Amino acid sequence: CFSKMNKPREANNGCILDGKLYPFGVTPRTENCFTCSCSQHGIDCCSLFHTPIGYDKENCRVIFNKESCNYNVVQKSDPSKECFVSSHV
């Protein structure tokens, strides 16, 4: 999670994050896979995804799927085959 404070007089219509204006209130999903809450003071966001850490790093690689807001862990030699993941953070 992270927070970004609004600059003085910046928050007339909402909060700006990554060059995009988000209205006051809760945004369930940004285009970068975060859920955010915007107020006059700033914006608070948390990721909608968990990062895989327990997998075979020698034979597998991690690919971020922006449509599902999830990481896929696939075999380096055959990306059509998924790898077992034992833990996420």
Which of 81, 49, 86 has the alpha carbon at shortest distance from 68? 49
| CA geometry: angle 72, 78, 84, nearest 5 deg | 45
pLDDT tens digits, 13-61: 899 888 899 999 999 999 899 999 999 899 999 999 999 999 999 999 9
Distance separating alpha carbons of residues 27 and 37, to the nearest angstrom: 6
Distance separating alpha carbons of residues 75 and 57, to the nearest angstrom: 10
pLDDT tens digits, 58-82: 999 999 998 999 999 999 999 999 9
What pLDDT does residue 39 have?
92
What pLDDT does residue 76 have?
97
Which of 17, 36, 31 has the alpha carbon at shortest distance from 67? 31
Split at pLDDT 50, 70, 90, the class of 11 is: low
Q: Which domains does the chain have, with CATH numbers?
A: 2-47 (2.10.70), 52-88 (2.20.25.590)
What pLDDT does residue 34 have?
94
- Could you say which DSSP state residue 82 is in? B
